[in-house]
Amino acid sequence: MAAHTEAQKRRDYRYYDLLLAGFVAVLLCSNLIGPAKVAQTAVPLVGTTLVFGAGNLFFPISYVFGDVLTEVYGYARMRRAIWAGAAAMVFASAMAAGVIALPPSPDEPFNAEFQPALELVFGNTWRVVVASVLGFWAGDFVNAYVLAKMKVATRGRWLWMRTIGSTLVGQGVDTLIFFPVAFGGIWTIDTLAAVVAFSWLFKVMVEVVMTPITYLVIGGLKRLEGVDHFDTDTRFTPFTLRD
């Protein structure tokens, strides 16, 4: 386990910025595009139909990005990515609300059709926005913390156990925050419990399926960047942007 100097901690990496951009892009897609559609698909051989929010297809990928960022670059770099993602989500939601609130021009013939469509797709309630940001923020910090601590405890072994284990906890926190905050008092307790359970299981299964790709990406990045960070002396507070 190599010791890290201050200069090493603050070094520039070739691919960190690209991963950060991809991480934020996935978050924006899952929160702006995904919630607008409820999808339905039949499960072969089981004889049942699954109904789920389309955002569930996007959001678990952000945890794969989070695993890669934490495993390769460490908790402090992931902390910066989480704050960037949260800020992007808040800004995008504010922009969407502002655009929807602007009065449409009566001289534009298509505005009569566009305005209701914009409200339907991008007009999330304040509860959904707050739930999305809080759930993401708490869940990703828990995911990064658990992964970083497990890496030190296992001395860098059993990557699959660390990525799946941290996702189990992080996605659990995210799901338990998002649905009650967004839909508590609107949905019944039974519906909330069923949706929380299914969403959590679905997101964890995405992590499991993506594990071979996660291995390839992490292994390649460690070789290309020449780094394999262990958080042995990291300050795990989320309330700082310092490395």
pLDDT one-digit tens code per residue, 78-94: 999 999 999 999 999 99
74: region left, alpha or beta (phi > 0 left; psi from -120 to 50 alpha): left
pLDDT band at 214 (very low <50, low <70, confident <90, very high): very high
Mean pLDDT for the chain? Answer: 88
Tell me the domain boundaries of the chain. 6-225
State whether CATH 1.20.58 applies to domain 6-225.
no
Examine the pLDDT at 125 and tell me if it is beyond 90. Answer: no
Query: Alpha-carbon distance 30 to 56, whole Å?
Result: 7
Query: Alpha-carbon distance 68 to 106, whole Å?
Result: 49
Spatial contact of 210 and 57, defined as CB atoms under 8 Å apart:
no
Examine the pLDDT at 30 and tell me if it is beyond 50. Answer: yes
Query: Alpha-carbon distance 142 to 113, whole Å?
Result: 43
Query: Alpha-carbon distance 162 to 135, whole Å?
Result: 21
- Residue whose C-alpha is closest to residue 136's, from 79, 181, 174: 174
Q: What is the pTM of this model?
A: 0.88
